[in-house]
Structure 1
Amino acid sequence: METITKAYEVIVVGGGLSGVCAAIASAREGAKTALVQDRPVLGGNASSEIRMHICGANKHGTRDEARETGILEEILLENKKRNPQHSFSILDTVLWEKVNFQERLTLYLNTRMTEVVVEDHTIKSIRAHQLTTDKDFEFKAKIFIDCTGDATLAYRAGADYRVGREAKSELGETFAPEKSDNRTMGNTLMFRAIDYGKSMPFEKPSWAYTFTEKDLVNRGHSAINNELEHYEIDSGYWWIELGGMEDTIGDAEEIRDELLKTVYGVWDHIKNGGEHGAQNYVLDWVQFLPGKRESRRIEGDYILKEQDLLEGKVFEDAVAYGGWPMDMHPPEGFKYRGPSTNYIQVPIYTIPYRSYYSRNIHNLMMAGRNISASHMAFGSTRVMGTCAIGGQAVGTAAALAIHYGCEPRGVLEYKTELQQKLLKADCFIPGFRNEDKKDKALNAKVKASSQKRGYDATHVINGIARNVEKEMNAWISQELGASGEWIELKLKEQMPIQEVRITFDSDLGTEIMTTLSETVRSNQREQLPETLVKDYEVELLLEDEVIYSKQVKNNYQRHVIHSMANRRANQVRIKIYTTWGNKEASIYEVRIY
């Protein structure tokens, strides 16, 4: 069969959230990009195949202003608008749409990488087979990004990697085990149960296991007491976890079979092993593709470690951040009779660029749960919100490497430019602010129709597009009247204006992701965030005379970009008429180019 050869500048392998964000970012920054995904849908653990909700630094909405922004926020707000019913299949479609219709980006679904060609520590090409079309491909590129989760591309390319737990003596990690081993966190199968409105019997399959209350100690499993999310009877249990004592890659088929026997055994106990409030419940969906937590981690120039997280370290080459606890599951998983997880709380910390490229394969980058981190640090960095913003950072860096004709390591020379590009794209980097010399707003005079105390109009040009701890960085108006409220930026001189970028307030202390969990869902607003601006107008003025205006109705995005076609002006005025619920208008940042 003939092999079809395709050439790109950047190729991303793996279509989870990190791969999606990496591919979109690379393409938006100008690189000809391909995304190669071996599944029929995008999203990885957030897809309809696995249905895990997206956790991140805001810790289920318990940490203010910590939700990840950038491309992930764009996707989730799009999904929030179109998918209030929390359908994972609709989220599949939103992800497909974002990738499939992105300029300079080509998507290959159902396409399994089969071979990696390497010369002199450089990946020359990969080969892949598309199951649906029975086509064979050879993909060539200058930069390859491994977002496979299992580090499959890196492994086949001969990249240095790690598996398992480091000894505390190796990196000086207090919470690491005394001796190193190959044990990992395991894989999970979840389920969805629905209340059928009448008594529904359940007959255990002959191949399913049998469990008693003693077997399920420390594993909440009753509809009668569901204060904690993982006690919910309708949204499955992440603690049905196995494989950490085995090889989560090599033994994956056997692990899945054991998980199926366990899921149905747990459900049998819930239905037939005592009073659990489940008389009317019936299984509606059982996950068949296990959600995987841990396997290989690629070694970069820097290995992120426990201490970096605990001290909230800000690296000079920081490009992303995390804040989910070091969420350490026992490798025995379901078979462990103690607590099912150990949460080690951490502050907001940054992740250095050096953890996002291979130390020995010259044109290999990575994003997702396979980045360069110790097992302990991985316990926090593995969650999808953190993986996604890392993906955007890597995709942006890959395009920068193409622009400068350098390898990924060479982008360190341009780290300030990389950081400023990420900030411009609404990616928060703790400890850094907008210092883009091309942004004419930074030197503008700002005034507003009104402002609440402590939320000055000048905040929109202070370089930080969210509140940080007690530092308020938004302009908030007084109560919106019939004519709205406005904010105006006056430039030092007349100039052609190419674009105006506005960052609105989408309430980053809350959660907006699709979820199976009724508890998590009940803590979310069904509609779009009420702080988000809905109807507004952007005006260009030349010496106080309006020369151009653009009205926007039903906005639902936090970060919006308006093309101004190089119209000559010296003032930008933004009028806010309505929000999705708040009585005041709120803007975090305005940029003018």
Structure 2
Amino acid sequence: MKKTSEKYQVVVAGGGLAGFCAAVAAARHGAQTCLIQDRPVFGGNSSSEVRVTPHGAANFHAYARETGILSELLIEERARNHEEIFENGWTNSVWDLTMYDMAMKTPNLSFHLNTSVQAVIKDGDKKIKSLLVRVANAETEIEVSGDIFIDCTGDGVVADWAGCEWRMGSEGRDEFGEPHAPETASGDTMGNSIHFKTVNMGRPVPFEAPDWAVQHEDPSFFYDQGRHTYDIRGGYWWIEIGVPWHTIYDSEDIRHELTRHTLGIWDWIKNKDPKTKELAANYALDWVGQVPGKRESRRIMGEYFMTEHDPINRTVFEDEIAYGGWFLDLHTPGGLLAPTSEPASAEGYNETSDYAIKSYCGPYGIPLRILIAKDLDNLMMAGRNVSVTHAALGTVRVMATTALMGQAAGTSAAIALKNGLSIKEVPTKVIKEVQQNLLRDGCFLPNVVNEHPGDIARQAVITASSEMLLNGAGPETQDRLPRLLEWNEPETDPKEPLRNRRGQWIAIASPEIESLSVCLTNHSDEPQQIRAALVNVDHIWDYRMEPENGFISSALLTVPPGGCQWVKWKANLGPQDGLKAQSYVRLELDARPHITWHEAGTIISGHVAAFEMGKGRMRRVDRGVTMSYLISPAQSVFSALNVISGVTRPYQYTNLWKSDPALPLSQWVQLAWEKAQFIRTVEITFPGHLIREYHAYGPFYRDPQCAKDYRVQAYVGDEWQDIISVKGNYQRHVRHQLDESVLTSKLRVVIDATNGDPSAAIYEVRCYA
């Protein structure tokens, strides 16, 4: 056995999305970092070994997709990959190599693949000194020393061996009063899953299950218990087993049982189910996973213990470092061995059931303290092993959320080292530095805006070559953007009547509205009346049916019989009615069984819709749409001034500059200062990749809204000089550091071409000396 040692500042154990983002973030912030991964590839559950595609807040909330390091990776993968993405089973090695490429290109980052932690060596009771790791197939043992350790192993292996307190199983309802908690505490956890993938051979092909596979014969097991064979290409998340096995110690037994069930399920789909066997006739098994994807095991006790009350009530934390928005998704213990699968699936994903209402949450903030182990002075964690209850884990466990927590952990560790602080001091002493650096690195925080002291763009006067005016859009409005791929689920019928109250968010620049019009169809033979109302909302995810101080005005609209007609509300509203400049209002129509409110033929940036789900709450319409409406006067909500709003997505306002789409490119936005400034670094955030989840984006996808060819110009010596020139871009967040600082009083970002959109657009420009 070869024995050696290595010394780093930050050591990350576990190379799933949380660990990978933690390691990259720490290294980018200057810490000498080592990432230890026990598999041959990065990505954990998202890798080609397990093939669970990353989920997150955008599955339930428009414009809530996670950004930062994860966004860079997913955008890069879609631009490179020929493969379509489906929910589970379709991840190929292009994703693995995308992560590997980033790791190789990251300064200060070293890594060991196929390397597992064998022991934890402590320095006294409160600190870890080093990890003893073993490289598989190399007969090599390495003692890896560090100053700060981050446990991203999922199972909390490092924390456990270091003697930290942890929990596993479900808290009882009496402990915290959580609505999703069972009546009594138990050791029950969510289970592990494996997935499979099929391929269309273009001709009938046979399949014969081995005799050791599970024989599925009962249709009710699938159709009455929430196990939907919704796509014969592969899947499914519900091929899941936990209880009565232990998700850590019995992982191999679970893997074997899952394999038996998977082959039996494919046998049912292929040979027995009258609903699918003809559809599956030409399909053959292409891949069956043999590394189980794990949902739950140990949860390490941290400086704060997050319960489900926090995401449900959207608790605001001073040490907010990430956000979540997946629903409180607690799978039935036992999985395939239980009477039904996960509750939402078992009830057919009913969006207005009592379960759906109580489970819908977010976007909500996540505090740094749940990433800091309470029992040690130099241990953090990120991933599904953070300090939360079983019920809260139902929402924070999804990979896009854990990736954000990983980036926050790595950033916090590096900043602690830079400031000579214990990691436990970060939440109180340098949390603003952590938050501002996360924002600068492309992340979003619901309760923090850009106030970075070094960003001199914040003091600039902003102008642009042109600005798009908002008039609204109708069913006939042409969508200039290519349609995104969608999951194989039925979309909302565009002629569906208003069965629930529905609202459309509308940004207003000045507090004056003369009229609003909506495009409606009256399916009856008589005129119908429908109540329209306008309310103030705090942001695009303000789903309260009656926001505090929200009511502005209402009116009864008369809708004649007939289809697709514009009905005008002569509102004549102003600040005296409660309208506020640079904000959102929500235009609402009450439920009416004979009336359809038509969707617009395009999606207006930052303009979302929601419907009443019950108990005073709303939720997103379909996968993110704009309802048809017209507003007068036209609103200048895409002003150039938005590039220094401090927020890089639609939220309390659009926060986006868009050029007039009727004018040809090139278009530009300009920053000007009274006194000349030295500028060395320019950072830009372009639009795109926000409204929907990763799954919606097709092979070789490059978001049309994102700038493709652009230049940065400085005004030097009475003329404009190109100081940066880029062609072929598709990333939304870019950073350019000049070889030498330039002294200038004016700077322009000139967009010569986009990836398809007629408007040039930018969320943010930052400048640093």
Q: Same fold (TM over 0.5)?
A: yes
Please give the per-residue CA displacement for 1:343-374, whole angstroms capped at 9, x wherever unaligned: 51102101001011100011000111111111
**Aligned mates of 1:481, 1:456 — CA distance in 2:** 16
Choose the corresponding residue for 1:106, options 110, 128, 132. Answer: 110
2:687 corresponds to 1:505: yes
1:361 aligns with 2:361: no
Quote how far apart the aligned CAs of 1:562 are: 1.3
Q: Say whether 1:231 aligns with 2:230.
A: yes
- Per the TM alignment, residue 547 of structure 1 is displaced from its structure 2 partner at its CA by 4.2
Partner residue of 1:375 out of 390, 404, 423: 390
Cα pair distance change 1:543/1:478, threshold 3 Å: farther
Q: CA deviation at 1:409?
A: 0.7
Structure whose CA Rg is larger: 2
Q: Give the corresponding residue for 1:55.
A: 55
Match of 1:430 among 438, 441, 446: 446
- Match among 192, 201, 212 for residue 196 of structure 1: 201
Aligned residues of 1:11 and 1:34 also touching (Cα < 8 A): yes
Q: For residue 580 of structure 1, what is the aligned residue in structure 2?
A: 755
User: Residues of 2 paired with 1:338 and 1:525: CA distance?
Assistant: 35
Within the candidate set 48, 51, 66, 1:68 is matched to 66
Equivalent position of 1:555 in the other structure = 729
> Partner of 1:515 in structure 2?
none
AA paired with 2:134? H
Higher relative contact order (Cα pairs below 8 Å, separated by 6+ residues): 1
- Residues 1:126 and 2:116 aligned together: no
Q: Is the 8 A contact 1:190 1:235 kept in 2?
A: yes
Q: CA deviation at 1:46?
A: 0.8
Look up the match of 1:451: 467
2:733 is equivalent to residue 534 of structure 1: no
Is the 1:325–1:380 contact (alpha carbons within 8 Å) kept by the matching residues of 2?
yes
Q: Give the CA deviation at 1:526.
A: 5.3
In 1, the alpha carbon distance for the partners of 2:364 and 2:285 equals 40
Task: Report the Cα distance in structure 2 between the residues aligned to 1:149 and 1:4, rounded to whole angstroms.
Answer: 26
Distance in 1, matches of 2:226 and 2:129, equals: 50
Return the offset for 1:405: 1.9
Are 1:300 and 1:372, in contact at CA under 8 Å, matched by a contact in 2?
yes
Q: In 1, distance between residues paired with 2:38 and 2:364? A: 32
Q: Which amino acid aligns with 1:345?
A: Y
Aligned counterparts of 1:310 and 1:220: Cα–Cα separation in 2: 25
Distance in 2 (CA, whole Å) between partners of 1:544 and 1:491 is 15
Equivalent positions of 1:22-33 (< 5 A) are 22-33=22-33
Structure 1 runs of 4+ aligned residues shifted over 6 Å read: none
SS in 2 for 1:441: helix
1:219/1:340 contact within 8 Å kept? no
Instruction: Please tell me whether the aligned partners of residues 536 and 552 of structure 1 are also in contact (alpha carbons under 8 angstroms).
Output: yes
Q: What is the 5 A alignment of 1:255-274?
A: 255-274=254-273
Aligned residue for 1:154, secondary structure, equals helix
**In the alignment, residue 488 of structure 1 is paired with which amino acid?**
Q
Corresponding residue number in structure 2 for 1:410:
425
SS at match of 2:57: coil
Query: Over residues 322-342 of structure 1, what are the superposed CA-to-partner deviations in whole Å (9 max), with x where a residue is unaligned?
Result: 000011100021122234334
Identify which of 114, 120, 123 aligns with 1:116: 120
Distance 2:693 2:419 in 1: 38
Paired with 1:350 and 1:169, the residues of 2 have a C-alpha distance of 25
How many correspondences in the alignment?
575
User: Could you list the runs of 5+ residues in structure 2 that have no partner in the other structure?
Assistant: 85-90, 345-355, 469-635
Q: Supply the RMSD in Å over aligned alpha carbons.
A: 1.6
Q: 1:496 aligns with which of 678, 686, 703?
A: 678
Q: Which residue matches 1:318? A: 320
For the residues of structure 2 that align with 1:467 and 1:483, how far apart are their CA atoms? 24
1:17 aligned partner, one-letter code: L
Tell me if the contact between 2:682 and 2:735 (Cα under 8 Å) persists in the aligned partners: yes
How many Å apart are 1:492 and its aligned residue?
3.1
For 1:152, the aligned partner's letter is V
> Does structure 2 retain, via aligned residues, the 8 Å contact 1:186–1:248?
yes
The residue number in structure 1 matching 2:645 is 462
The Cα shift of 1:244 comes to 3.4
Find the residue that maps to 1:27 and give its secondary structure: helix
Shift of 1:65: 1.1
Distance apart, 1:482 and its partner CA: 4.6
Letter in 2 for 1:157: A
| Distance (whole Å) between structure 1 residues aligned to residue 421 and residue 736 of structure 2 | 32
Which residue does 2:536 correspond to in 1? none
Q: Secondary structure at the match of 2:40?
A: coil
Residue in 2 aligned with 1:568?
A: 743
Partner residue, 1:43: 43
Q: Which amino acid aligns with 1:466?
A: R
AA at the equivalent of 1:422: L
Give TM-score, length-normalised by structure 1.
0.94
CA displacement 1:157-213 (0-9 Å, x = unmatched):
111111011111212212211111110000011100122222222112011111122
1:143-154 aligned within 5 A: 143-154=148-159
Contact map agreement 1:125 1:141 (CA 8 A) in 2: yes
Give TM-score scaled by structure 2 length: 0.73
How far off is 1:578 after superposition? 1.1
Distance 2:82 2:693 in 1: 13
2:93 to 89, 94, 102: 89
Residue 486 of structure 2 aligns with which residue? none
CA distance in 1, matches of 2:363, 2:75: 23
What SS does the aligned partner of 2:679 have?
A: strand
Tell me by how many angstroms 1:132 deviates: 3.3
Equivalent residue letter for 2:247: T
Superposed CA deviations along residues 18-48 of structure 1, whole A, max 9, x for unmatched, are 1111000000001000000010000011100
- Tell whether the 8 Å contact from 2:664 to 2:758 is kept in structure 1 after alignment: no
Structure 2 CA distance for aligned equivalents of residues 592 and 215 of structure 1: 59
Return the alpha-carbon distance in structure 2 between the equivalents of residues 456 and 543 of structure 1.
29
State whether structure 2 residue 163 is matched by structure 1 residue 158: yes
Which stretch shifts more, 546-555 or 11-20? 546-555
Q: Is 1:297 aligned with 2:299? A: yes
What does 1:333-348 correspond to in 2, within 5 Å? Answer: 333-342=335-344, 344-348=359-363
The unaligned stretches of length 5 or more in structure 1 are: 223-229, 513-519
Preserved CA contact (<8 Å) 1:443 1:492? no
Q: For residue 225 of structure 1, what is the aligned residue in structure 2?
A: none
What residue number does 2:4 align with? 4
Which residue type is aligned with residue 216 of structure 1?
A: F
- Give the aligned partner of residue 387 of structure 1: 402
Paired AA for residue 178 in structure 1: E
Aligned residue runs from structure 1 range 13-24, under 5 A: 13-24=13-24
| Alpha-carbon distance, 1:81 to partner | 1.3
Query: Whole-Å Cα distance in 2 between the matches of residues 274 and 465 of structure 1?
Result: 48
Query: Quick one: which amino acid aligns to residue 220 of structure 2?
Result: K
Is the deviation greater in 565-574 or in 321-330? 565-574
Aligned partners of 1:547, 1:264: CA distance in 2, in Å?
64
Residue 495 of structure 1 aligns to which amino acid in structure 2?
A: Q
Letter in 1 for 2:283: Y
Q: 2:69 corresponds to which letter in structure 1?
A: I
- 1:183–1:246 CA contact under 8 A, matched in 2: no
Are residues 1:177 and 2:177 paired?
A: no
1:266 CA displacement? 1.2
Q: Are the equivalent residues in 2 in contact too, given 1:327–1:380 (CA < 8 A)?
A: yes
